[in-house]
Chain A
Amino acid sequence: MNRAVVIGVGNEYRHDDGVGLAVLAALDAHPIPGVVTALCDGEPAALLEAWTGAGLAIVIDAVLCEPSTPGRIWRSTVDGLPRGSGTASSHALGIPDAVRLGAALGRVPDELVVFAVEAADLGLGVGLTPAVQAAVPEVVRAVRDELGRD
């Protein structure tokens, strides 16, 4: 397999939006040989750059759900992602749109797995809420499992 990359999307100054970064920090504490980690604010060009040439890309992001169960972890693949809004801008482009842009440019990883963690609070401020904090080790385990299987 080509190189694998784990991409944490988010902003640690918006509470639970920092969950992807918290997972990256935990992974970086015990680096896995051959696995690159990348931090990203979700901007499409940066996402494409981060996963271009990767055999496996794992993206971790926060999501808001209705009804909400903060801390719940959702796993999906390219096929399972909702279709994009049919629009593209710079800042608001979501992961599904980045996949479509990547596809048009021949820049999608061979395999893409997204772990989305349900957030409770995306307001301004640092620190994850307890439910989301508690999910971090579980996401780390899930990411390591993905990287371990062939």
Chain B
Amino acid sequence: MSHRSRQLKVSSLARVEGEGALHVRIADGTVERVELNIYEPPRFFEAFLRGRAHTEPPDITARICGICPVAYQTSACNAIEQACGVTLDAQLADVRRLLYCGEWISSHSLHIYLLHAPDFLGHPDAISLATRHREVVERGLALKKAGNTLLETFGGRAIHPVNVRVGGFYSLPTRAELAPLAETLRRALDIALDTVRWTAGFEFPDLELDHDFLAAYEPGRYAIADGTLRTTSGSAFPPREFSAHVVESQVPHSTALHASLDGHRYLTGPLARYTLNSAQLSPTARQVATEAGLGDQCRNPFRSILVRGVELVYAVEEALRLIDGYEQPSRPFVDVPARAGVGHGISEAPRGTLYHRYELDDGGLIRAADIVPPTSQNQAAIEDDLRRVVSGNLDLDDAALTGLCERTIRNYDPCISCSAHFLDVTWEHR
């Protein structure tokens, strides 16, 4: 089988959050070409944003993604506040982090239970999984609901929250109003711990990445809603230098931009965060990670389901800690008067580092906007994984190899993963 040419074409990864295709070409036992093609909607948004007021990006960019709107809102706020020379006080910054925990809980539980777990359990999808293991899927939905409740409490609603503004929030709850939420999260913590222990029993294919990893870093805590940047190759730089290190370029086969870090391939997301920052996790999260067989680094993308589980535990615990210390601020926001300038903001979206840059004129109108989402940053790394996976498994038949390619894509929880679940695959033999 390996001594002839094979061509794997996956057309129309058609999807709301991204459109793409997969094309693998093998000739004489060598993988000649792997192309993952994603059309990233944020490009349109960058054009929308020009000429809008500096107060508008949190609401406009939230619309880029239904799964991670808080990430877009937060990176936008960070960038605009920096451009205007405003710093949030610690209390409001904590609320921002708390809201973000809700998004991590909601997004990670959705990916672990509805998208990723079926791969490890021999089920084609979550419906099939639910038929055999109803209690498993119910657990995932309960966790997701806990995350959504947190998002609703501080964001006004779970999808595209409306309570976020540059400088903070429109209104914030009293401490007493948070009691039911805390109770929900306490129950969610047990489910999150069970999630890690459950996924620890899965079998993981061997694959070890040697890419550079990029993640946000904050002193004293696992970075979520802000930070500077660090890489496993030893670089450290502030968000304002992001574009000096991360360069987007066009590739002939894709309308989506590829990104490189200091000229090389890199990865952002849970594996990068864990590998760079695992020492900053809470004791409980670190302990359950150890129980699950994770060391202080993780470079196997199939094990990303474990890392997401550990981050789920951390996010629930962190939310509980922040709620415990919460007092309703005297004012839910700080003023962010417009001024001419450039601002850069980053945060850790569930899928990786999300960078925003805004250039404002002296009236606060946006002259230029740049958004670099994690999925486009990871595109080259995903292609490299696919190349390795295909090269190492040429003895598999077309169906099995295609299945492995789909799993490889899903490891990254890209916004196209939904499409990747129903790839129509055509193998061409020459």
Contacts and interface: CB of A to CB of B under 8 A. Distances in A.
Interface of A: 11, 13, 39-41, 43-46, 48-49, 84-93, 97, 100-101, 104-106, 124
A11 B114 CA distance: 23
Interface in B8-67: 15-17, 44, 48, 63, 66-67
A101 B113 CA distance: 13
A43 B151 CA distance: 15
Given A44-B114, A90-B67, 15 more contacts: A13-B63, A41-B66, A45-B145, A46-B159, A87-B421, A88-B125, A89-B422, A91-B67, A92-B16, A92-B422, A101-B126, A104-B131, A105-B134, A105-B138, A106-B134
Across the A-B interface, the 8 shortest Cβ-Cβ residue pairs = A89-B418, A88-B125, A104-B130, A87-B422, A89-B421, A91-B418, A92-B418, A88-B126
Contacts of A39: 157, 159
B93 interface: no
A90 B417 contact: yes
B158 interface: yes
Contact of A41 (B15, B126, B159): B159
B356 interface: no
B79 interface: no
Interface of B: 15-17, 44, 48, 63, 66-67, 110-111, 114-115, 118, 124-128, 130-131, 134, 137-138, 140-141, 144-145, 148, 157-160, 415, 417-422
Residue from A43, A88, A90, A93 with most neighbouring chain B CB atoms (10 Å): A90
Nearest to A87: B422
Contacts of B421: 87-89, 92
Contacts of B419: 89, 92
| Dominant SS among interface residues on chain A | loop
Contacts, number: 92
Nearest to B415: A91
A13 B157 CA distance: 16
A88 B16 CA distance: 15
Contacts of A11: 63, 66
Nearest to B66: A41
Given A45-B110, A46-B158, A105-B134, A91 B66 contact: yes
Contact of A90 (B48, B110, B138, B148): B110
Nearest to B423: A87
B130 A105 contact: yes
Nearest to A85: B422
Contacts of A45: 110, 114, 140-141, 144-145
Nearest to B158: A46
A124 B420 CA distance: 24
Contacts of B128: 88
B162 to A, nearest CB: 11
B114 A97 contact: no
A45 B148 CA distance: 10
Contacts of B137: 101, 104-105
Contacts of A87: 124-125, 421-422
B115 to A, nearest CB: 5
A92 B15 contact: yes
Nearest to A123: B44
5 contacts: A41-B66, A89-B115, A90-B417, A91-B17, A106-B134
A138 to B, nearest CB: 26
A9 to B, nearest CB: 11
Given A87-B421, A104-B134, A105-B137, A43 B125 contact: no
